[in-house]
Structure 1
């Protein structure tokens, strides 16, 4: 993978906060936002924008009218000049100078840096300066209250940051690569449009847990996550049917594009996407859990305001929807385990950027 090396410097903050990270050369600004959050140590809890040559890029909001920014998802890092600004949290106004300093290593990651990231919501650079002064003075009247709120100020851990940046870049799930490899060269579907038995049994051999019966599977619905995965790869454009033969598309040969397209399967603010992402993050942070206990932990995180059939959702509704979305999570290696105990799948920290960030945060600071 070709990478580009960036130096990011937080403005007006002492001790200096600097990161040097390698990011995919073809990264979009929307993807870069997630990588900057991971590299710097922010929690992606606030709005953000990029500015280059007086042009602003971010997530468009139709209510902004003439102030609307350019869509960051449609712009790549290579489209910007060698120096630009990244603003995070319009209230605290954390400003960062981003500089392209050349070609990076063979893989993305964090190669250097200094300074721990300030706590979220501490009042920007002036508030952070005051916070440090208070914590450094044991005679100050505020220390106990502030220490209880902020805890210990974080330090910079390059190795941990390197892992988080690479996880945020993402990896193609093994389950997806397994199916795409089996489709290489083209596979003729059955008259009903389903995968042939040879493919079904090849997947069963690699994923026996996808079929609860102790016998060879016959149709793809026997391995229900496979049926779901078949649907996913076609809808996101990783496989295409022509004259009854299903083949991988050109995009399927590029792991970066595989990850990018799979992420479009999850509607950003859709309820099932939010619920599934929280479930994957909780399991990655806490370890295996019974489905009912997982539901109990996820419900407060999802928040109020969700309704079904005109009434507020109850715990049983959340459990039912989580059961429904579990097949998609299994198909994409976000979820594993049997019906008694669910556990994080191998892609729980490497497919969905928000789940990656939350799993990292909750591993250090549990939310339950």
Structure 2
């Protein structure tokens, strides 16, 4: 079997990835090469945000009724529904310039919607190992907490020692959970291992 050709990179996209409908904002700013596939970008989002790849995902380019969806094609039914394989699409093929916006959905049950904004298109810095996260705000919500509204309820409970569910929720999220904390170094350590994660899960 012939080796798969990899498109050579020519530039860098600086992306701001923000969770939709949540206040205060939760977001990450990352830089990726333009030859990244959407599947690999899925991994950048997972690792930079702090998700655990425990649920299905999809990218959406455009809005209904003209939107195109890309994700993990499992069977012919996905194709019949119009889902395209995100392993086969390069980011540069969907981005048409700075300020371009598209969307990423994670966990269709909880419904975590991410807005992805192309903030800048930059030359490649030979001193930088891409992908890299350069900034972010606030912690990633815990998995399976019920989406935006479930997370907001969770925060209220954690901040109220008198709430009857306070102790059980503290145990569930781990005592060290701080919704206002984002660890940039930890995110980049994970991004440096992105090839390992992809080889484990995307065989």
Structure 1 match to 2:148: 125
Does residue 92 of structure 1 match 2:101?
no
Distance 1:355 1:149 in 2: 27
Give the CA deviation at 1:65.
5.9
Contact 1:17 1:115 in 2 (8 A): yes
Structure 1 match to 2:177: 153
Instruction: Please list the CA deviations of residues 311-347 of structure 1 after superposition, one character each: whole Å capped at 9, or x if unmatched.
Output: xxxxxxxxxxxxxxxxxxxxxxxxxxxxxxxxxxxxx
Taking only aligned residues, the RMSD between alpha carbons, in angstroms, comes to 1.9
Give the CA deviation at 1:353.
2.8
Aligned partner of 2:94 among 50, 65, 80: 80
Distance 2:21 2:191 in 1: 24
Distance 1:115 1:43 in 2: 17
Contact 1:116 1:156 in 2 (8 A): yes
> In structure 2, do the counterparts of structure 1 residues 354 and 127 end up closer, same or farther at CA, with 3 Å as the change threshold?
farther
Secondary structure class of the residue paired with 1:146: helix
What TM-score do the two structures reach when normalised by structure 1? 0.45
Instruction: Please list the CA deviations of residues 134-175 of structure 1 after superposition, one character each: whole Å capped at 9, or x if unmatched.
Output: 11011111011111111132521112212222321x4xxxxx
Structure 1 match to 2:44: 35
Structure 1 match to 2:190: 164
Contact 2:68 2:82 in 1 (8 A): no
> Any gaps of 5 or more consecutive residues in structure 1?
171-350, 357-368
Distance 2:105 2:150 in 1: 17
Q: What is the aligned residue count?
A: 175
Distance 1:97 1:65 in 2: 24
Contact 2:14 2:120 in 1 (8 A): yes
Larger strand proportion, structure 1 or 2? 2
Structure 1 stretches of at least 4 aligned residues deviating more than 2 Å after TM superposition: 63-66, 103-107, 152-155, 351-356
> In structure 2, do the counterparts of structure 1 residues 95 and 354 end up closer, same or farther at CA, with 3 Å as the change threshold?
farther
Does residue 59 of structure 1 match 2:92?
no
Secondary structure class of the residue paired with 2:135: strand
Distance 2:117 2:89 in 1: 17
Structure 2 match to 1:113: 136
Structure 1 match to 2:198: 353
> Any gaps of 5 or more consecutive residues in structure 2?
1-8
Structure 2 match to 1:202: none
Structure 1 match to 2:157: 134
- Structure number with greater CO (CA < 8 Å, separation at least 6) is 2
> 1:188-337 maps to which residues of 2 (within 5 A)?
none
For the pair shown, the structure with the greater C-alpha radius of gyration is 1
> In structure 2, do the counterparts of structure 1 residues 120 and 352 end up closer, same or farther at CA, with 3 Å as the change threshold?
closer
Distance 2:197 2:169 in 1: 33
Does residue 19 of structure 1 match 2:28?
yes
> In structure 2, do the counterparts of structure 1 residues 354 and 140 end up closer, same or farther at CA, with 3 Å as the change threshold?
farther
Give the CA deviation at 1:57.
0.5
Larger helix proportion, structure 1 or 2? 1
Contact 1:51 1:84 in 2 (8 A): yes
Give the CA deviation at 1:354.
6.0
Structure 1 match to 2:5: none
What TM-score do the two structures reach when normalised by structure 2? 0.80
Distance 1:133 1:51 in 2: 32
Secondary structure class of the residue paired with 2:77: helix
Give the CA deviation at 1:100.
1.1
